[in-house]
Amino acid sequence: MITISNVQKSFQDLKVLKGVSLQIEDREIYGIIGQSGAGKSTLLRCINGLEAYDSGEIIVDGTLVRTNDKASLRLLQKRMGMIFQNFNLLERLDVYDNIALPMKFWGINPRSPESRSKITDLIHLVGLDDKIHVKPRELSGGQKQRVAIARALVLDPPFLLCDEATSALDPEITKGILSLLQKINREMGITVIVVTHQMEVVKQICGKVAFLSDGRVLSEGKPEELFIKPSVPEIKSFLRDGSELLPETGVNIQLFFFGPGAEQPIVTQMARELGKDFSISWAKLEDFRENVYGSLVLNVQPEDAESVCAFLDRKRIYWEVLD
């Protein structure tokens, strides 16, 4: 478990983390999302001790992260595999030796029978059996990231930290990498922390997400809660896709569908029961791992708004009137 309490961090006069608190449970896939410059990478680097924080506390499995204690820092970093947007592979080494690098750093012989079986198992896990002696320049971006993932796992860390791991990849390749991270989480029980500015990433794999803006956590929860019904204006503007051109007359009521009951034929029922006319101004379906969540904006006559809202309450549909 990782507990972050009121962490602050500045670079000279620039306050980058302004009191960040969050908790990451074991075996979850936790997302940290936000705009460029929000402080996501800095936070991740504070978690694994690559960067020192000024105040507050970061506790990993009961141990306080302190960058001035080099021996314990090294042990901490051994427990946290990390992958980046640019893969950071060594060009002169082949796939096997790139994956073996952390072993060398720790004085483990990468050619011993145990090391060999560990590395070949990992190469198999990431699906690169036929690339074992290939150099990075002969690999695609997605394949390079797979090598980086195997390298990050070679010392059996309980945590895998990913900083924009899929930002340089196209959507299809991204899906493959995300499925691999999911598999690693499920089958190996590794806690995965994903820093990204891509909402798709969070939607596909994260069980929980924190929205970081200007060094603060503005919201934390299940991705579907955050994205379907964003409570904070910053999140709304982050998610706005330009398609919300709503009518300026009448009353716009946004409906949110999630969980059981989301499949009720609510619109047709409402039209029949209330005998009112209304139009659908905007609709959106979002895929969150196994579930589909939806949102709908109805435009109703001002005199009908009250009865429509009462109907939605009776049906236990979440709604809000838009300004």
Ligand X SMILES: Nc1ncnc2c1ncn2[C@@H]1O[C@H](COP(=O)(O)OP(=O)(O)OP(=O)(O)O)[C@@H](O)[C@H]1O
Work out what residue 255 binds among ligand X, Mg ion, none; the CB cut-off runs from 5 to 8 Å by kind: none
Give min distance, CB of 14 to ligand X, in A: 6
Q: Compare residues 52 and 280 and give the one whose CB is closer to ligand X.
A: 52
Site for ligand X in 167-226 (CB under 6 A): 197
Site for ligand X contains 48 (CB under 6 A): no
Convert 246-275 to b/e letters by CB count within 10 Å (16 or more is b).
Answer: eeeebbbbbbbbbeeeeeeebeeebeeeee
User: SS3 sequence, 200-264?
Assistant: HHHHHHCCEEEEEECCEEEEEECHHHHHHCCCCHHHHHHHCCCCCCCCCCCEEEEEEECCCCCCC
Integer Cα distance of 91 and 88 in angstroms: 9
Which one of residues 13, 36, 241, 263 is an interface residue with ligand X (CB under 6 A)?
36
Q: Would you give the DSSP letter of residue 197?
A: S
Handedness of CA 39, 41, 47, 49 (dihedral sign): negative
Site for ligand X contains 40 (CB under 6 A): yes
Integer Cα distance of 7 and 55 in angstroms: 6
Site for ligand X contains 41 (CB under 6 A): yes
Give min distance, CB of 16 to ligand X, in A: 4
- Mention every residue, 6+ apart, whose C-beta is less than 8 A from residue 176: 142
Work out what residue 38 binds among ligand X, Mg ion, none; the CB cut-off runs from 5 to 8 Å by kind: ligand X
Which one of residues 4, 29, 38, 46 is an interface residue with ligand X (CB under 6 A)?
38
Using alpha carbons, list the distances in angstroms from residue 276 to 199, 236, 256, 267, 321.
37, 30, 20, 11, 18
Site for Mg ion contains 41 (CB under 5 A): yes
# residues contacting ligand X (CB under 6 A): 12
Give min distance, CB of 162 to ligand X, in A: 12
Which one of residues 20, 29, 42, 297 is an interface residue with ligand X (CB under 6 A)?
42
Q: Compare residues 85 and 185 and give the one whose CB is closer to Mg ion.
A: 85
Q: Compare residues 79 and 197 and give the one whose CB is closer to ligand X.
A: 197
Give min distance, CB of 109 to Mg ion, in A: 35
Q: Compare residues 43 and 119 and give the one whose CB is closer to ligand X.
A: 43
Q: Compare residues 38 and 317 and give the one whose CB is closer to Mg ion.
A: 38
Site for ligand X contains 16 (CB under 6 A): yes
147, 126 in Cβ contact below 8 A? yes
Integer Cα distance of 208 and 202 in angstroms: 8
Strand partners, 55: 8
Give min distance, CB of 18 to ligand X, in A: 11
Give min distance, CB of 43 to Mg ion, in A: 9
> How many residues are listed for the chain in this entry?
323
Give min distance, CB of 40 to Mg ion, in A: 5
Strand, coil or helix: what is 316?
Answer: coil
Residues lying near Mg ion in the complex (CB under 5 A): 41
Contacts with ligand X by CB under 6 A lie at 11, 14, 16, 34, 36-42, 197
